[in-house]
DNA sequence: CATGAATGAGCATTCATTCAT
DNA sequence: CATGAATGAATGCTCATTCAT
């Protein structure tokens, strides 16, 4: 009774199909017609929800970023230690990346792509403002090495991306857990004072 | 005798134009006709050197990787310490990335793109085999933390990419020097024992 | 309610335009864009009905063969004499050829062309199986000269083609009637016992 | 000493390669570059002998027609009977067609093609004027049925073409001889009085 | 005469987008 | 809201032809 395609269902299906196809075949090989077919809707319907292919791409990027951000904020611990909170971010990010391979891959693929507008990137960044605050707190309390906050965030981002991508390629569920832990060790040893 | 199109010049011009345009506008937004025009050659000439657009992209990727690899091997120091050699790699890579922004950006953009064939990636990786040996030596001699070599290489790669990309965005030649040094500190502190 | 593009009309228009243009200018000199324009549809529309130019050519060949076959079977007389039925085939074929000059010319032009696939030829041949049966009956009843059936059919085909082509070049409606009759005389005298 | 590619050798090689390729792959699939390569000469060389692809095609057509005509005139018997001379033409034509499959196929393929200019066709026809005279003589002496000479020539042409093409498809050297004889019987019975 | 790199007009085909139903 | 046939601008690629060597 509830599987009958509830209102708004179509938008989700289109987004899901788009993530899958873009990751598998890339941008140019994925036509809007194919996305629509994979999503089980008509060609025209896609344009009812996303006014153009460019809009769709950017929506996808935001969707991915929002998913990740939400996951990071979910169990975000309170005041305890700055290190604990960093630890939480690290593991939550890796866990999300490994659980959502398509969305994660999409993010890395389009991270520095000209298809993603500045606005999109800016919105995604602002959503992760709390991470920046954490870094600032770490610097202020002397827990972190004295490094420009933006550079430190970039390094965090780069390390997580490298770790998840690496573990995704060598699919070994057992090694994954350990890899995340080891990479965390490298990162924290590097930035902590 | 100097400058004016010395035979074989055309291939270089096409590669240069392609790097520039792909970085600015992305793969599909850059038509072969535009690349040819920007390179100052006829449309057909492009296909004389690269049998298809896909072949061009892969050639570009290899060109970039080869350029970086050559630069890394250039002043590669002998036996001294593992740390010294790592230091050389780090700084050489960052220097190259900052000096060749288009090629570097191209590499990050297409790193995980479906346009780049496995063969291309494999060839590029094999050229950097000496880096893998260095890691192994570091692990054997106990200079590095006990981490899977591949993961460690991935982290090195990710850290360099994050650093260069970050410094390119905030163009400040003065800060660049310092940034590379600081990021190196983070990385080495993280992986050294 | 009449005339003005009654759904499915487009396919017909494309076929008509293609017959005309291919006969006038040949295969390669006739661009798909020109066919579309002549048919009054958009370029893309042609590919909606025929997935490639090669498919279009083969469809045209089948269309022509089917038209001819249908016309031959239309008033095909029953049991009477084998000669009467041959006479029907001869005149019906010539009549159709003179009435559909473009389709007929197309058939002769592409008869031995590499553009027409074996499948296409086979299908067209199977549709004319009843002619083969007639020949067999003629041989069995001793009405025809003892000649391999395939050779006899080839000669019939060749004679009709030569006759119609000849009469088309010297357009003289009056002479046409007589020419068909005279050629029939030659053919039948040649094959009958 | 004499195999060293004598003067004018290149023209022959180009013609031979062109016959082969056009028959195998058709007009559009056969590029001038391919013909040149198959002939073992440079691209530009082809245009030294034939100023354009269209000129080459027409030269090929003339070459084929000339070859056939020469063969027909070779052992052309003197005054004896009209029937004997017809017989000679028939067998000589079939023999040539079976011995030169590529040239023969080329002729049938381009017989009614728009690529062959009227001039070319006219020249080829005038070379075969002696055949027309034979027909006229046959009509005048009452040896042939009273049929327009052009139509009779067209039927002769059509019958030879059909016979050779048919025998070429069903390659059976033994059957070939018999087939030519049987087809001749059909033709002569049809046109003789 | 011969070469083959270079040219660029031309073509088949695709695909984002629209709109009548 | 949903559909999918229709559109036509845009693109990758080909190939006849030229010309400097």
CATH number assigned to the domain comprising residue B4: 1.10.10.60
Q: What residues of B are in contact with residue A154 (Cβ under 8 Å)?
A: 162-163, 165-166
Q: What CATH number is attached to the domain comprising D119?
A: 1.10.357.10
Q: pLDDT value at position A101?
A: 93
Residue D22 shares a structural domain with residue D68: no
Q: pLDDT value at position B7?
A: 60
Q: Is A28 helix (H, G, I), strand (E, B) or coil?
A: coil
pLDDT, greater one: A41 or D25 = A41
Distance CA B103, CA B68 (A): 9
pLDDT, greater one: D138 or C113 = D138
Q: pLDDT value at position D175?
A: 83
Q: Of the candidates A29, A159, A182, which has its C-beta nearest B159's C-beta?
A: A159
Residue of C nearest to D176 (CA): C151
Distance CA B158, CA B176 (A): 18
Q: Mean pLDDT over residues A110-127, rounded?
A: 91
pLDDT in tens, D69-127: 999 998 777 777 899 999 999 999 999 999 999 999 999 998 888 899 999 999 998 88
Residue C173 shares a structural domain with residue C96: yes
Distance CA A190, CA A144 (A): 9
Asked if the model's pLDDT at residue D4 lies above 70, the reply is no
pLDDT in tens, A40-78: 999 999 999 999 999 999 999 999 999 999 999 987 777
CB D99 within 8 A of CB D46: no
Nearest residue: Cα versus C1' of E2: D45
Asked if the model's pLDDT at residue A3 lies above 50, the reply is no
Asked if the model's pLDDT at residue B11 lies above 80, the reply is yes
Residue C192 backbone dihedrals phi, psi, to 5 degrees: -75, 155
Q: Mean pLDDT over residues D59-71, rounded?
A: 95
For chain C, state the CA radius of gyration.
Answer: 19
The per-residue DSSP string of A92-153 comes to HHHHHHHH-HHHHHHHHHHTT-TTS-HHHHHHHHHHTHHHHHHHHHHHHTT-B-S--HHHHH
Residue C77 shares a structural domain with residue C44: no
Residue B62 shares a structural domain with residue B45: no
CB of D6 lies under 7 Å from some atom of strand E: no
pLDDT in tens, B128-166: 888 999 999 999 999 999 999 999 999 999 999 999 999
Residue D44 shares a structural domain with residue D92: no
Which residues in range 84-103 of chain C are in contact with strand E, contact meaning CB within 7 A of any of its atoms? none
Q: Mean pLDDT over residues B156-179, rounded?
A: 91
Residue D130 shares a structural domain with residue D164: yes
Q: Mean pLDDT over residues D140-169, rounded?
A: 96
**% of chain D exceeding 70 in pLDDT:** 96
How close is the nearest chain D Cα to the Cα of C178, in Å? 10
Tell me the residue range of the domain where C155 lies.
Answer: 52-191
Q: Is D112 close to C114, i.e. CB distance below 8 A?
A: no
**Least confident segment among A37-41, A172-176, C29-33, D127-131:** A172-176
Q: pLDDT value at position D128?
A: 83
Q: Which nucleotide is nearest to D8 (CA to C1')?
A: E1
Whether residue A28 lies inside any domain: the answer is no
Asked if the model's pLDDT at residue D7 lies above 80, the reply is no
Q: Does A148 contact chain B (CB < 8 Å)?
A: yes
Residue D111 shares a structural domain with residue D184: yes
Q: Which nucleotide is nearest to A49 (CA to C1')?
A: F1
Domain-terminating residue out of B20, B35, B51: B51
Touching partners of B (3+ C-beta pairs < 8 Å): A
How close is the nearest chain C Cα to the Cα of D78, in Å? 26
Which residues in range 24-43 of chain B are in contact with strand E, contact meaning CB within 7 A of any of its atoms? 41-43
Residue B59 shares a structural domain with residue B43: no
pLDDT, greater one: B90 or A26 = B90
Instruction: Please classify residue C1 by burial: count the beta carbons closer than 10 Å to its beta carbon, then call 0-12 exposed, 13-18 middle and 19+ buried.
Output: exposed
Which residues in range 11-50 of chain C are in contact with strand E, contact meaning CB within 7 A of any of its atoms? 28-33, 43-44, 46-47
Written as six digits, the tokens of A97 are: 């990346």
Q: Does B122 contact chain A (CB < 8 Å)?
A: no
Residue D63 shares a structural domain with residue D114: yes
Residue C44 shares a structural domain with residue C71: no
Asked if the model's pLDDT at residue D6 lies above 80, the reply is no
Q: Does C109 contact chain D (CB < 8 Å)?
A: yes
Residue of D nearest to C168 (CA): D151
CB D23 within 8 A of CB D108: no
- What number of residues does chain B have? 193
Q: pLDDT value at position A4?
A: 47
Mean pLDDT per block of 10 residues along chain C (193 residues) reads 56 96 91 97 97 96 95 81 93 96 93 90 88 94 96 97 94 85 98 95
Residue B147 shares a structural domain with residue B80: yes
Residue D180 shares a structural domain with residue D129: yes
Residue B144 backbone dihedrals phi, psi, to 5 degrees: -105, 160
Written as six digits, the tokens of A92 are: 């939550």
Neighbouring CB atoms inside 10 A of B130's CB total: 13
- Substitution target from B155, B169, B179 for chain A, most A beta carbons within 10 A: B155
User: Could you give the number of structural domains in chain D?
Assistant: 2
What is the rounded average pLDDT for all residues in chain B? 91
Q: pLDDT value at position C50?
A: 97
Written as six digits, the tokens of C42 are: 């958009």
Q: pLDDT value at position B2?
A: 36
CB of D42 lies under 7 Å from some atom of strand E: yes
Give the CA diameter of chain C: 57
- Decide: pTM greater than 0.85: yes
Q: Is A191 close to B186, i.e. CB distance below 8 A?
A: yes
How close is the nearest chain D Cα to the Cα of C173, in Å? 15
Q: Does C117 contact chain D (CB < 8 Å)?
A: no
Q: pLDDT value at position B4?
A: 43
Q: Is B166 close to A187, i.e. CB distance below 8 A?
A: no
CB C145 within 8 A of CB D181: no
Q: What share of chain B is helix, strand, coil (3-state, %, to 5)?
A: 75, 0, 25
Q: pLDDT value at position C6?
A: 52
């Amino acid at each position: 009774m509830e599987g009958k395609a509830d209102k708004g269902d179509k938008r989700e299906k289109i987004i899901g199909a788009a993530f899958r196809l873009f990751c598998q075949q890339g941008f140019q090989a994925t036509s809007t017609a194919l996305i629509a077919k994979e999503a089980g809707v008509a060609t025209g319907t896609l344009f009812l929800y996303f006014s153009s292919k460019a809009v769709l791409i950017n929506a996808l990027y935001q969707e991915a970023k929002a998913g990740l951000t939400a996951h990071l904020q979910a169990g975000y611990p309170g005041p305890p230690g700055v290190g604990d909170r960093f630890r939480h971010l690290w593991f939550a990010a890796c866990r999300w990346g490994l659980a959502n391979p398509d969305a994660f891959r999409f993010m890395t693929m389009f991270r520095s792509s000209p298809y993603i507008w500045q606005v999109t990137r800016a919105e995604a960044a602002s959503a992760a403002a709390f991470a920046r605050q954490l870094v600032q707190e770490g610097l202020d309390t002397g827990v972190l090495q004295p490094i420009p906050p933006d550079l430190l965030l970039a390094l965090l981002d780069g390390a997580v991306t490298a770790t998840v991508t690496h573990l995704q390629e060598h699919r070994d569920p057992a090694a994954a857990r350990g890899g995340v832990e080891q990479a965390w060790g490298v990162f924290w040893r590097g930035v902590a004072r």
